Amino acid sequence: MAQFVDGPVRVTVPATSANLGPGFDSLGLALSLRDELEAEVLPHGLEVEVDGAGADGVPRDESHLVVRSMRAAFDLMGEQPPGLRLSCRNVIPHARGLGSSSAAIVAGVVLARALVAGGQLLASDETLFDLAADLEGHPDNVAPAFYGGFVISGREDDRWYAVRAGVDPRITAVVFVPPTGVETKVARGLLPDSVPHADAAANAGRAALLVAALTGQPEHLLAATRDWLHQDQREPAMPATLALVRALRADGVPAVVSGAGPTVLAFGSADTSPLTARCPDGWACHDLAVEPSGALVL
């Protein structure tokens, strides 16, 4: 029977950007924008507090995504606590393509393990990552949220895999966040069931080039971030996003739709002021670093 620790535990989890152009459902990058969460075991009941991004639109009961993820991890470790208090201080924008749901899931499973005495023995990192990917349904955001950095992920023989790769220290990222979001299921619903073989081959080549560009040859980022499979197809749900991507790329900036959108991510170098100056009226702009660390217990 699992035993629970006394007092609260705190966890931080980074924002993430998936796809990065041609790496559909397989490439993800952690960014230096972090949610912070705190939880502790109570004698009874459930208390949920949420401040910051998305606070007005999330539930405060068992249906909260962090709570559901914690429950799944507690089940995995064999014991549910008698009560829980959860406090979320959200910075990652919701429904913007910056991995807010993956951050919530990863935070939940990591919080649950930290609340169990000897939790590392009951649930290894690999086991927790598998659970988080199962809960999300795909690993491209979960992997960098959990492990940090640049991660290539997918599924093989009914198991999830995640392989980290280094990132050239010259690379930075600027994200342009529009004022209204697009739900992932809406963006995915615009994708066709099949694509031409030539488009799939082109994307495969650019995804391979993107790994080389991010890990040490950033001069190839503009060519490496070209996509044929999902960005143009999502334009009906986010026309302003695709317009900004095309305008930046026309000026030689490696810009992509972040995740399922509608945020735009542009890769830069040490001086990103010319990029931040391109932020459309009413949008938010964040000049970010690649975050080397994933979920951290403080």
Q: Which two tokens stand for residue 213?
A: 């560009």
Q: Which two tokens stand for residue 274?
A: 């010319």
Q: How far is CA 30 from CA 88, 148, 149, 166, in A?
A: 19, 5, 5, 12
Judge residue 222's burial from the number of C-beta atoms within 10 Å of its C-beta, 0-12 exposed, 13-18 middle, 19 or more buried. Answer: middle
Rounded Cα gap, residues 10 and 30, in angstroms: 19
Residue 71 assigned ligand-binding role: no
Residue 148 assigned ligand-binding role: no
Residue 17 assigned ligand-binding role: no
DSSP letters, 133-181, are: HHHHS--TTHHHHHH-SEEEEEEETTEEEEEEE---TT-EEEEEE-SS-
The stretches of 116-232 forming alpha helices (DSSP H) are 119-122, 125-136, 142-147, 184-189, 197-215, 221-224
Residue 144 assigned ligand-binding role: no
Q: Is 223 left (phi over 0), alpha (psi -120 to 50) or beta?
A: alpha
Question: For residue 197, how many other CB atoms are within 10 A of its CB?
Answer: 8
Length of the chain equals: 298
Question: For residue 99, how many other CB atoms are within 10 A of its CB?
Answer: 32
Residue 94 assigned ligand-binding role: yes
Rounded Cα gap, residues 249 and 158, in angstroms: 38
Question: For residue 236, how many other CB atoms are within 10 A of its CB?
Answer: 10
Strand pairing class (45-52; 83-90)? parallel
Terminal Cα distance for the chain, rounded? 25
Residue 282 assigned ligand-binding role: no
Residue 57 assigned ligand-binding role: no
Residue 102 assigned ligand-binding role: yes
Q: Quick check: 261 and 187 in contact, CB under 8 A?
A: yes
Residue 101 assigned ligand-binding role: yes
Residue 210 assigned ligand-binding role: no
Task: Tell me the binding residues.
Answer: 93-103
Annotated binding site for ATP, which residues? 93-103
